[in-house]
A and B are shown apart, each in its own frame.
Chain A
Amino acid sequence: MIPLVLNAESDAEAPFVTRLASRRSADPRESFCLSSTPTQSLWCGMEGLFTLAHPMDALTGDVVLVDPSARRAERLLRAGSPHNSLLVTEQCDQLCVMCSQPPKKTHRDRFEHFETACRLAEQGSVIGITGGEPTLHMGPLLAMIERLLADRPDLGFHILSNGQHFDAANTARLAGRLRTNIVWGIPLYAADAPLHDHIVGKPGAFERLIASFAHLLVAGARIELRTVMLEDNLDALAGLARFVAHNLPHIEQWSLMGLENIGFARRRWDALHVDLRARFAPVGNALDQASLYGVPVRLFNIPLCHIPPEFRDYAVASISDWKQRFAPACEGCAARANCAGFFEWHPDHLVEKVVPL
């Protein structure tokens, strides 16, 4: 696993964002390396000297947020990684049965640091925005992205949202400068309101979500629909496919996703997890129904050898590099480069269940 948070030492008075450059530069937002060992590197920048508990080579080009009082540094934007995401808040107004990042009550506003970091992002980056629920802070969030796009129109944003907070007041703004550069990743678990509400732990969530889709579609917003495959909604997936085809045909992509064994899902694993090796038929049916009506649909977080051969073209090697893992037997697999593999925290006894292709 690639570490995202490092132990750090700095005498700066407040947290700061800097890019770790390979050599001294004229850009005051950059720091450069003075010395490096296999376990630690010493850097110099506008905020003085600081150490990071990681060698220089692995860090060069990263944008980090150093927090002196917490004695740690977050690698906000790792160089060359397509999987960078910024955690805007840990607050959320849903309580999904499988939540991978269970919500907290308090909010620490870090938009200023995120904005500084995004300005240092590589050309053409797509930056993930996650939570919690980012749109609980809709105003500051959209304002930050508007300011960024004014100077960095090359940046793209992928925002994970529960879709509970879009209304008519947002549409003009979303249809403006933000429209082309934001993809909204929004979960929908069933075409049946009680089932969806049960999964997200919030009565009325389905109805509010459908209202939000109307506002987003009016704005012409780009939408990635996301559905985690669970024991609860497996048999409802084909119906959901028809619902999407008939009611949300303008979405950019529908992503069917395997469950992550983390957060709430960890203690409910046996009740929630579906073994697709034994029960792929409902998923295949959903993929066919979606494709029949021209809905672009993809399969995420499932290793290729767990998918029947005729459906493997739908699979995306989706698991982010820093949390991706393979079984020892995967070494000999010809398809490994195109495979999602497993999440780092996937149950050990299940990771072994692979068939090299």
Chain B
Amino acid sequence: MPGALDYLILVPTLRCNLACSYCQVSRAAIDARGHDWSSATLAGVEALVGGLTGPEVKIEFQGGEPTLRPDLIRAVIDAVPAEIQAQFIICTNLQTLNDEAMALFDRDDVQISTSLDGPLAVHSRQRQVDAGEAKGFHANLRTLLARYGPGKISALPTINPLSPPDPEQLIDSFAELGLDSIYLRPINYQGFARKRHPASRVNGDQWLAYHAAFVRRLIARNWIDRSRVLEESYFSLLLRRIFRPGEDRHVDLRNPNPIGRDYIVVDHDGCVYPTDEARMLTRAGIIDLSIGDIHAGWDTPERAALEAAATNDGDPACEACAYQPYCGRDIIDDIARYGRIDLPREETDFCRRHLYLFDLAFELIHSDDPAVQYSLRRWLGLAGETGALAAP
């Protein structure tokens, strides 16, 4: 069961200097008013963070573009009690770099997370920026990589499943920057994406095949070039969940999936959500999934109602599924796609996607191709180069 609150997503501002075609959060214009934390909301967040009991906490700043308000980020960092081991992640589009943002990035306890959609043309098309702006982002990314090395920076591609980039090109665009982990993320059926990318409601077979082909390309490349290990982060997570019961800190894939306990999202207006996706659905006007607010708290009937359903235990399809122990339950994803959580599980995108990926995982675990075993062992963090994973 989950412990105390130790993972927060904070949205100090909803304003952003970009207008990406698939924006999941219905961002506000750069000069809009009333989309930043009020002083009362900041005080509430500071009190929350100041009262954490530790020993560790991860605080992620989302937006909007959080670097538009470095003062709020600093205030939160300063509010964490000294005895708590804190890690901060600033999720930024890296469209602009200024001194205040750099001063934050320079801290040892700050990680940078950004989006890199692949080759320049794809990045530019999806982010609705001109080629010059896309180049600006690339230059900023390179500047930071040169300054800190790849360990401090993670980049996530957002991919249109109907026209995904060539796997080889996408891998190259990460590899040439020294980034080894690629989190393959299809456009989320949230926010602006609902209107502009209606097909993203269901990730069809095409996307699943793409994911599998991508993993196989990584295996081939790792085998040819042993000097580095490239991975698809979500597939690595599935592998770890297969072998390591209790690996439950990935909040999108765990069972049960407690709501509003070890993990919350605090929006720009002080509303508290169980997940970032729940915030997006609410912002898009689909359904109000807030569970409370920073002042009154979130131990509410809404939280309890969501949590009661956030398990795959007792579901007839899940109980009959060989992958149940490794799988999870994401009711927000079901609500986003279908407006309900009671569809037969095997008809949901979440189930189909995970069935497919677990099938792939077990096929690879039992493969006797040394190239496959080599990559799987690296992704699981094993030191020895050889040896089969499947039990003898």
Binding site for B on A (CB under 8 A): 242, 249, 284-285, 287-288, 291-294, 310-311, 313-314
Contact = CB atoms under 8 A, between A and B. Distances in A.
A294 B382 CA distance: 10
Contact of B383 (A249, A288, A293): A288
A284 B243 contact: no
Interface of B: 240, 243-247, 377, 380-385, 387, 389, 391
Contacts of B391: 242
B245 A287 contact: no
A314 B244 CA distance: 19
B385 A249 contact: no
Contacts of A311: 383-384
Given A288-B384, A294-B246, 15 more contacts: A242-B391, A249-B246, A284-B383, A285-B384, A287-B383, A288-B387, A291-B381, A291-B383, A293-B243, A294-B240, A294-B243, A294-B244, A294-B245, A310-B384, A313-B383
Contacts of A242: 391
A287 B383 CA distance: 8
A288 B246 contact: no
Nearest to A290: B382
A61 to B, nearest CB: 26
Top 3 closest pairs, chain A to chain B, by CB? A294-B244, A310-B383, A288-B384
Main secondary structure of the interface of B (DSSP, over half): loop
11 contacts: A249-B246, A288-B387, A292-B382, A293-B243, A293-B244, A294-B240, A294-B243, A294-B247, A310-B383, A310-B384, A310-B385
A313 B382 CA distance: 11
Nearest to B391: A242
A284 B389 contact: no
A292 B380 contact: yes
A200 to B, nearest CB: 27
A314 B383 contact: yes
For B240, B246, B383, B389, the residue with the greatest tally of chain A CB atoms inside 10 Å of its CB is: B383
A284 to B, nearest CB: 5
A314 B380 CA distance: 15
A298 to B, nearest CB: 13
B165 to A, nearest CB: 33
Contacts of A287: 383-384
A311 B385 CA distance: 10
Contacts of B240: 294
B377 to A, nearest CB: 8
A173 B377 CA distance: 42
A284 B386 CA distance: 10
A296 to B, nearest CB: 11
Contacts of A314: 383
Contacts of B380: 291-292
A242 B390 CA distance: 12
A40 to B, nearest CB: 44
Contacts of B382: 288, 291-292
B185 to A, nearest CB: 26
A292 B390 CA distance: 11
A313 B389 CA distance: 21
Contacts of A292: 243, 380, 382, 389
A242 B380 CA distance: 16
Contact of A249 (B245, B377, B381, B384): B245
Contacts of B244: 293-294
A126 B385 CA distance: 37
A291 B377 CA distance: 10
Nearest to B389: A292
A262 B383 CA distance: 32
A285 B387 contact: yes
A291 B384 CA distance: 11
A77 B385 CA distance: 44
Nearest to A314: B383
Contacts of B384: 284-285, 287-288, 310-311
Nearest to A239: B392
Nearest to A249: B245
A172 to B, nearest CB: 22
A83 B339 CA distance: 61
Q: Which one of B243, B377, B382, B384 has the highest number of Cβ atoms from chain A below 10 Å of its Cβ?
A: B384
A246 to B, nearest CB: 10
Nearest to B382: A288
Nearest to B247: A294
Contacts of B247: 294
A297 B14 CA distance: 45
Nearest to A250: B246
